[in-house]
Structure 1
Amino acid sequence: MNIALWIIAGVLAVAYAIGGASQIMLPKERYRAAAASQHWVDDFSAGQVKAIGTIKLVGVVGLILPPLVGIVPELSPIAACGLMLVMAGAATTRFRRQEWALMAGDTAYLLAFAFLAWGRFALEPFGS
């Protein structure tokens, strides 16, 4: 189970690192134009989009770095909970915009982070 949790964490970390970095580095208009699924940025200011990207990157660091270096690895499932909350906000935005298929994708990510948090809190905690 430990290997499966690491694989899930790694895949999610790569996806969210790319997404968060692009939100920070690209101007809002260019980020929106980069993919058809990014219409949600119309509801937010450029600063808010960059803040969301920063939160994603901080979550990715918390998900991977503490257990990797062995310093307070218990932060990893807490970071997964934080990213789960980010995805709850994303799903709420999709719901409000009536983007049902995209909301289902956001909900899938939310459930992946929930599974990761549960796995690291209960199934295979670090340091056990």
Structure 2
Amino acid sequence: MHVALWIVAGLLGAVALAGGVSKTFVPKARLAAQHGGEWTQAAGTGFVKTLGVLELLAAVGLVLPAALDVAPVLVPVTATCWIALMVGAMITHGRLGQTGFVLLNAVYLAIAVFVAWGRFGPWSLGS
């Protein structure tokens, strides 16, 4: 189970990294022009960039604490924060009628629940 948790945390970290890089470094107008990025039209640039930075931090927090064995409890804490972020993403995409993105975010949320449950519970990294 440890291997499965490592794999899904790594995959979720890659998703967070991709989203974080795009929101942090891609101009808002370009994001708004892409399918799925329409929500950025009504959001402030600072808000979009802040979400991007949070996603970059999530990418780090899902992998590095465990890999370096420095405060590994941050892995399930980060997964729990990712759950909150995905709830917000699901609400945002739902308001725009983007069912596909709502379902995709629900998958990411389920993966984060699995990581949080496994790393807080029976397969904690501290044990």
Normalising TM by the smaller chain, what interval?
over 0.9
- Confirm whether residue 120 of structure 1 aligns to residue 119 of structure 2: yes
Q: Which residue in the other structure is 1:4 paired with? A: 4
- TM-score, reference length from structure 1: 0.93
Compare 1-10 and 90-99 and name the one that shifted more: 90-99
In the TM superposition, 1:1-128 aligns within 5 A as 1-33=1-33, 35-128=34-127
- TM-score, reference length from structure 2: 0.93
Compare 112-121 and 100-109 and name the one that shifted more: 100-109
- Identical columns (%): 35
* Deviation by residue 1:2-58 (Cα, 9 ceiling, x = unmatched): 00110001111112101101111111011233x312212123111111000011111
Alignment size in residue pairs: 127
The runs of at least 4 aligned residues of structure 1 exceeding 2 Å deviation read none
Distance in 2 (alpha carbons) for counterparts of 1:43 and 1:89: 15
Where structure 2 has 5 or more consecutive residues not aligned to the other structure, the ranges are: none
Distance in 2 (alpha carbons) for counterparts of 1:51 and 1:42: 15
* Deviation by residue 1:46-96 (Cα, 9 ceiling, x = unmatched): 111100001111111111111111111011100000011101100011122
Distance in 2 (alpha carbons) for counterparts of 1:31 and 1:99: 16
The two structures, once aligned, show a CA RMSD in angstroms of 1.2
Where structure 1 has 5 or more consecutive residues not aligned to the other structure, the ranges are: none
